[in-house]
């Protein structure tokens, strides 16, 4: 079913999406309507245009494809599913996501993957094609974030303060330039071929989605970031 979002507010638009019996829904002329696909399970939602903030928040197993750019808080606290952005997106992409995948063809804003976490079979993945802003993977507690830096080969494609407060998961950055100014909680090393196996599947999926050669991407140099102790905050306190 095709839903024309032209001059439709978010409340009515999302009501139509939730109430639509079809599994395959296309939203055309999106113009910043918030909360598209919020908490929705078992659907495929294709968005033409620009969806607003909190696209796919609490997403519970749907697939959302955006032909355009996304805005802030995409996939906030998403539990499962897939979000594919054929463009760039804003801040806090994948905030506290627990599982599922987010693929962004272009760049993403600040605090991408902040407080991502994992649990048993829940394992969140974010792959960004271009570059990202500051605080990538802040407070990351699990899952994998990959920044491919396509088109930004002459610089490190991440901003400052990567992994501040990180205490779980992995960040992979495809670059010849080591990220600078990392906090003490983060270990940074060049990824081995064995390490790259962790991300091969997701880079492959990214490449299929957006038409890249995954082997070529994976052959580049990657830096792998991990938290450097199991409990980095324990030594902070004294009982009073």
Partner 1 sequence: MALNYFQPLFEVIRDKDRCIKCQACARQCSNEVHKYDAELDMMISDSQTCVDCQRCVTICPTRALKITENNNQFRTNANWSQQTMTEVYRQAESGGVLLSSMGNPKPYPVYWDKILLNASQVTNPPIDPLREPMESRVFLGKKPRNVSFNEDGSVNTKVTPTLELSTPIMFSAMSYGSISRNAHESLARAATELGIYYNTGEGGLHKDFYQYGPNTIVQVASGRFGVFKDYLETGAAIEIKMGQGAKPGIGGHLPGQKILEDVSRTRMIPMGTDAISPAPHHDIYSIEDLRQLVYSLKEATEYKKPVIVKIAAVHNVAAIASGIARSGADIIAIDGYRGGTGAAPTRIRDNVGIPIELALASVDQRLRDEGIRNEVSVVVAGSIRSSSDVVKAIALGADAVYIGTAALLALGCHLCRTCHTGKCNWGIATQRDDLVKRLNPEIGYKRLVNLVHAWDHEIKEMMGGMGINSIEALRGNRLMLRGIGLTDKELEILGIQHAGQ
Cβ closest to partner 1, residue 216 vs residue 239? 239
Give the angle subtended at the CA of 218 by the CAs of 217 and 221, to the nearest 5°: 95
| 52 in Cβ contact with 34 (< 8 Å) | yes
Q: Does 139 participate in binding partner 1 (rule CB under 8 A)?
A: yes
CA pair distance 219, 99, nearest whole angstrom: 27
Residue 94, burial from CB neighbour count under 10 angstroms (0-12, 13-18, 19+): buried
Q: Does 82 participate in binding partner 1 (rule CB under 8 A)?
A: no
CA-nearest of 73, 153, 62 to 99 is: 62
Alpha helices of 83-213 — where are they, by DSSP H? 193-210
Q: Does 119 participate in binding partner 1 (rule CB under 8 A)?
A: yes
Cβ closest to partner 1, residue 194 vs residue 237? 237
Q: Does 143 participate in binding partner 1 (rule CB under 8 A)?
A: no
Among 184, 213, 216, 235, binds partner 1 (CB under 8 A): 235
Q: Does 38 participate in binding partner 1 (rule CB under 8 A)?
A: yes
CA pair distance 101, 22, nearest whole angstrom: 23
| 4 in Cβ contact with 28 (< 8 Å) | yes
Q: Does 213 participate in binding partner 1 (rule CB under 8 A)?
A: no
Q: Does 54 participate in binding partner 1 (rule CB under 8 A)?
A: yes
Structure tokens at 63: 């697939």
CA pair distance 150, 113, nearest whole angstrom: 19
Q: Does 114 participate in binding partner 1 (rule CB under 8 A)?
A: yes
Quick note: the x/- pattern for partner 1 over 83-102, rule CB under 8 A, is: --------xx--xx-x----
Cβ closest to partner 1, residue 100 vs residue 149? 100
Q: Does 33 participate in binding partner 1 (rule CB under 8 A)?
A: no
Q: Does 31 participate in binding partner 1 (rule CB under 8 A)?
A: no
Q: Does 132 participate in binding partner 1 (rule CB under 8 A)?
A: no
Q: Does 57 participate in binding partner 1 (rule CB under 8 A)?
A: yes
Binding-site size, partner 1 (CB under 8 A)? 49
Structure tokens at 223: 């830096």
Residue 226, burial from CB neighbour count under 10 angstroms (0-12, 13-18, 19+): middle
Which residues are near partner 1 by CB under 8 A? 10, 14, 18, 34-35, 38-39, 41, 53-54, 57-58, 60, 72-73, 76-77, 79, 91-92, 95-96, 98, 111, 114-115, 117-120, 122, 138-139, 141-142, 165, 167-168, 230-240
């Amino acid at each position: 079913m095709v839903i024309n979002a032209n001059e439709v507010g978010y409340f009515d638009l999302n009501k139509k999406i939730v109430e639509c019996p079809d599994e395959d829904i296309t939203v055309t002329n999106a113009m910043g309507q918030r909360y598209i696909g919020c908490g929705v399970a078992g659907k495929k939602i294709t968005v033409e245009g620009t969806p607003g903030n909190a696209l796919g928040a609490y997403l519970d197993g749907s697939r959302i494809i955006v032909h355009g750019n996304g805005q802030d808080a995409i996939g906030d606290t998403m539990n499962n599913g897939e979000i594919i952005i054929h463009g760039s997106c804003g801040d806090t992409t994948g905030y506290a996501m627990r599982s599922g995948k987010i693929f962004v063809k272009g760049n993403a804003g600040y605090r991408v993957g902040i407080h991502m976490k994992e649990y048993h079979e829940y394992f969140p993945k974010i792959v960004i094609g271009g570059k990202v802003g500051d605080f990538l993977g802040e407070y990351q507690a699990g899952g994998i974030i990959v920044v491919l830096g396509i088109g930004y080969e002459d610089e490190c494609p991440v901003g400052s303060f990567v992994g501040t407060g990180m205490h779980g998961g992995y960040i992979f950055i495809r670059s010849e330039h080591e990220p600078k100014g990392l906090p003490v909680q983060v270990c940074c090393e060049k990824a081995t071929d064995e390490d790259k196996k962790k991300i091969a599947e997701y880079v492959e999926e990214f490449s299929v989605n957006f038409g890249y050669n995954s082997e070529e991407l994976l052959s580049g140099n990657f830096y792998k970031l991990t938290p450097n102790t199991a409990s980095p905050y324990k030594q902070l306190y004294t009982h009073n």
